[in-house]
Amino acid sequence: MKDILGIHHITAIAGDPQSNIDFYVGILGLRLVKKTVNFDDPQTFHLYYGDEAGNPGTLLTFFPWTSSGFRGQSGAGQVTTISFSVPQASIPFWIMRLKEYGVTFQKPLVRFDRDVLAFHDSDGLQLELVGGPNEPSHPWADSPVPAEYAIQGFYSAALGMSRCDATANLMTETLGFRLVEEFANRTRYSIGDGYPGILVDLVCLPFDNPGRTGIGTVHHIAWRTPDGKRQQRKREELSGLGYNVTPVIDRKYFQSIYFREPGGVLFEIATDPPGFTVDEAYERLGTELQLPKRLEPARQRIKQALPQINMPASLLLEILS
């Protein structure tokens, strides 16, 4: 088994957490699989969305910066676009659904022989739905989106670069991706086939301003690794190449290491296990605030500092029943 299997999760910055839930659960039909806090800043939520079980390769997570209001700017040195996979036949459904909810979208285009529907979330984060074959997936049973149209996980992520050479070398020589397609300033890499989140695009933006982290932008992208042994092996390899890699950090649902790649994007390598049922039953995922053990003594104070959030009204009773 390879050390890197594809995208584990992507973490972005949101504004109002309720608007975030309304968009990703109520409109896109993803499951809120974990409601916790930013372990490094427990006055801020950390919301995880994914498929029925929150499988790696389906997880988009958010830190809602409710107090700062600081808006980011997408540009070089960032993940600039997050692309989800949907069945090809579902594109007309999604066009109608986005229209129904007043979400502005671009006319569908074709990229690398796939139909692409581009739009922004409620905070301006660039998203895409990419049509493809019906992949094995685990859609949320209580989703407002019928299973035959449901998001199947990540299709790809686009990394904006002012220069691509050093990042391309890291992706292929160290992380194990292979070049599969090129068009204009976009180069596509793959780490396998048949699984969600195996593609990444490097988009050379030589004249773009550097990105600025804030509401509506991506904070970091995490790559999957099967276990701690392979993670440690990759950490030693990266450190030997001169990357400033963090020690292994316990994120409760996975173990993580972090480093910045040459173009400036914050990379994480996260283990697949143990997953989201370590503190919550499968059928109850995302229904209660979960905290790491070290923060449990401060639970009441943390809850009082966090804003009130709810599931979209149309789903609340069904999920909690």
- How deeply is 313 buried, as exposed, middle or buried, from its count of CB atoms within 10 A (0-12, 13-18, 19+)? exposed
- Residue ranges and CATH numbers for the domains of the chain are 7-320 (3.10.180.10)
Model pLDDT, residue 97: 97
| Omega before 139 within 30 of 0, i.e. cis | no
Positions of the chain with pLDDT under 50: 316-321
Q: What is the DSSP letter of 174?
A: I
- How deeply is 133 buried, as exposed, middle or buried, from its count of CB atoms within 10 A (0-12, 13-18, 19+)? exposed
Q: Quick count: other Cβ atoms within 10 Å of Cβ 321?
A: 6
**Whether 197 contacts 153, CB under 8 Å:** yes
Closest CA to 268 of 278, 255, 280: 255
Closest CA to 124 of 10, 22, 13, 35: 13
302: which strand partners? none
Task: Return the sign of the alpha-carbon dihedral for residues 226, 230, 235, 240.
Answer: negative
Query: Which helix (H) or strand (E) covers residue 46, if one does?
Result: strand 41-50
pTM: 0.95
Model pLDDT, residue 236: 98
Model pLDDT, residue 179: 97
Task: Return the sign of the alpha-carbon dihedral for residues 156, 158, 163, 167.
Answer: negative
Model pLDDT, residue 320: 41
Model pLDDT, residue 206: 81
Model confidence pLDDT, tens digit, residues 97-112:
999 999 999 999 999 9
Sheet holding 114-120, edge to edge: 109-111, 114-120, 126-132, 78-87, 154-161, 199-204, 186-190, 178-183
Model pLDDT, residue 315: 59
What distance in Å separates the CA atoms of residue 306 and residue 175, rounded to the nearest whole number?
A: 38
Model confidence pLDDT, tens digit, residues 250-263:
999 999 999 999 99
119: which strand partners? 105, 127
